[in-house]
Amino acid sequence: MKRFAAAFLSVLFLAVPALAGASVAQAEEGARLRVDLSGLSPRVITTSTTTLTVTGTVTNTGDRKVTRPQVRLQVGDRATTERGVGDVLSGAVIKDTPLTDFTSVAEVLEPGQSAPLNISVPLTGTRAERLSRPGVYPLLVNVNGTPEFGGPARLGAVSMLMPALTGPGKQAPSRSGAPSMTLLWPLTGNVPHVYASPYGSPLVLADDRMAAEISGDGRLNALVTAAASAVRTNSDLAKSMCFALDPDLLATVDAMSRGYLVHTESGNVDGKGADAAKAWLSDLRSLVGSRCVVALPFADADLDALTRIHPGDTGLVTRAAAGAATIQQLTGVTPQTGVLWPDGTPSASVLSALSEAGVRTVLADAGKLAPAAGGGVTVQGSTVRVQPTDSLISAAMTGVPAVPDSVTVAATTERAVASQNGLGALAFRAGLGQPAGQQRPNHLLIAPPRRWDASAEEFTAYLRQVGDFLDAGLVTATGLSTLLAAGPAASGTVGDGGQDPAGIDEGVVSTLSALDVQATGLASAMQLDPTKRVKPDDVVEPVRLAEVRGASTAWRGLPADAATANAQAELASISGRVTVSQPKQTIALASGNSPLPVYVSNDLPVGINARFTLNNNTGLRPEDAKDWYFPASGGKNYFLPVEALRAGRFSVDVSLSTPTGTPLGSSARFELTSTEYGAITIIATVAAGVALLLLASRRIYRRVKDARAGRDVVG
3-state secondary structure string across 619-677 = CEEECCCCCEEECCCEEEEEEECEEECCCEEEEEEEEEECCCCCEEEEEEEEEEEECCC
Q: What's the pLDDT score for residue 557?
A: 83
Q: How many other C-beta atoms lie within 10 A of the C-beta of residue 180?
A: 17
- Average pLDDT estimate for 436-449: 87
Considering only residues 139 and 406, tell me which one the structure prediction assigns the higher pLDDT.
139
Q: What is the pLDDT of residues 250-306, one digit of tens each?
A: 999 999 999 999 999 999 999 999 999 999 999 999 999 989 999 999 999 999 999
DSSP 301: B
Q: What is the pLDDT of residues 115-149, one digit of tens each?
A: 999 999 999 888 889 999 999 999 999 999 999 99
- Average pLDDT estimate for 219-227: 98
Residue 392 has pLDDT above 90, yes or no: yes
Q: What's the pLDDT score for residue 686?
A: 46
- Average pLDDT estimate for 646-670: 91
- Average pLDDT estimate for 681-688: 48
Q: What's the pLDDT score for residue 235?
A: 96
Strands (E), 61-175: 66-76, 96-98, 103-104, 108-109, 114-122, 135-147, 153-164
Considering only residues 205 and 384, tell me which one the structure prediction assigns the higher pLDDT.
205
Q: What's the pLDDT score for residue 693?
A: 65
Q: Residue 34: how many CA atoms within 13 Å on its side-chain side?
A: 14
Element (H, E) at 239: helix 235-240
Considering only residues 143 and 557, tell me which one the structure prediction assigns the higher pLDDT.
143
Q: Is 22 helix (H, G, I), strand (E, B) or coil?
A: coil
Residue 702 has pLDDT above 80, yes or no: no
Residue percentage of the chain with pLDDT more than 90: 67
**Residue 3 confidence class, pLDDT cut points 50, 70, 90:** very low
Q: Is 205 helix (H, G, I), strand (E, B) or coil?
A: strand
**Residue 712 confidence class, pLDDT cut points 50, 70, 90:** low
Q: What's the pLDDT score for residue 158?
A: 95
Q: What's the pLDDT score for residue 126?
A: 87
pTM of the shown model = 0.86
Amino acid at 569: A
Q: What's the pLDDT score for residue 500?
A: 56
- Average pLDDT estimate for 543-555: 96
Q: What is the pLDDT of residues 7-55, one digit of tens each?
A: 433 433 333 333 333 333 333 456 789 999 999 999 999 999 999 999 9
- Average pLDDT estimate for 674-698: 58
Q: What is the pLDDT of residues 82-100, one digit of tens each?
A: 999 999 998 888 888 999 9
**Residue 175 confidence class, pLDDT cut points 50, 70, 90:** confident
Find, among 136, 151, 159, 123, the residue nearest to 37 by Cα: 159
Q: What is the pLDDT of residues 671-683, one digit of tens each?
A: 988 876 544 444 4
Amino acid at 680: I
Distance CA 687, CA 60 (A): 88
**In sequence order, what DSSP letters do the residues of 476-530 get, joined into one string?**
EE--HHHHHHSPPSEEEEES-SSPPTTS--HHHHHHHHHHHHHHHHHHHHEE--T
Residue 596 has pLDDT above 70, yes or no: yes
Ranking 63-72, 485-494, 572-581, 627-636 by mean pLDDT, the lowest is 485-494
Considering only residues 492 and 339, tell me which one the structure prediction assigns the higher pLDDT.
339
Q: Which residues of 397-410 are buried (b: 16+ CB within 10 A; e: fewer)?
A: bbbeebeeebbbbb
Distance CA 144, CA 103 (A): 10
Distance CA 138, CA 161 (A): 5
Element (H, E) at 385: strand 385-389
Find, among 153, 169, 157, the residue nearest to 76 by Cα: 157
**Rg (the chain; Cα; Å):** 36
Q: What's the pLDDT score for residue 688?
A: 52
Q: What's the pLDDT score for residue 708?
A: 66
Looking at every residue in the chain, the average pLDDT score rounds to: 87
Question: Cis (ω within 30 of 0) for the bond into 42?
Answer: yes
**Residue 368 confidence class, pLDDT cut points 50, 70, 90:** low
- Average pLDDT estimate for 176-197: 94
Residue percentage of the chain with pLDDT more than 70: 87
CB 240 within 8 A of CB 194: no
Distance CA 570, CA 547 (A): 10
